[in-house]
Structure 1
Amino acid sequence: INGKQTLGENIADNGGLNEAIGAYKKYVAKHGEEPKLPGFENYTSFQLFFIAYANIWCQTASIEDLTTAIEYDEHCPNAIRVLGSLQNSPDFAKAFHCPTGSPMNPKNKCKIW
């Protein structure tokens, strides 16, 4: 993946996730957490927020499609978009109790805003 090619969209993905987290925190502070969903009782509302975020990026793509996207698209492949944004999110690490230095909670995170 060409980081220079995807930089602007990587920043936008991180910023968009941070804004969505902030909006959800305000919602929960005002309205309280939603009732537990059947079958998802073991997840907190913040964990479900991140699961829903990741779910919107699910896709099936052929190797040819991914190769073309990596060469020409200003976006990273969806899986990388999800992993990159979540790895940079202290809120994600807190919600899922990811140890510092683990793959989903690296010590060095990218924070722009």
Structure 2
Amino acid sequence: MEEHQVLTEDGYLLGLYRIPGKRNSTISKNHPVLMMHSWFSSCADYVLIGPGNALGYLLADRGYDVWLGNARGNRYSRRHQKLKVRSKQFWDFSIHEIGYYDVPALIDYVLEKSGKKKLH
């Protein structure tokens, strides 16, 4: 698994993890898939039960290039260029900012790094 950091337009640093599609897979799709967690959660939801069982690993085993995104504020995305994590300003966000800043930044990063024009 690879670890990446994505900078949002408003300065948050988001944790992004990649499980490249298996090279020995009989089906080589190599299409990027961005998996995004729900509110109050993290990308760990897609890998916790381990290889052979968790959706993130199952997709990678079938040849997909799996990217596991994290929204600002969860345990993998508690950094900012200027704000301290203990400050009120760091935590002054809602689902709106996640949709407006975080998700587009993650999509753009995955497309750039994968060299693909679209993702699933």
Q: TM-score range by the shorter chain?
A: under 0.3
Indicate the structure with greater strand content.
2
Indicate the structure with greater helix content.
1
State the TM-score, normalized to the length of structure 1.
Answer: 0.28
Whichever of the two has the greater Rg, that structure is 1
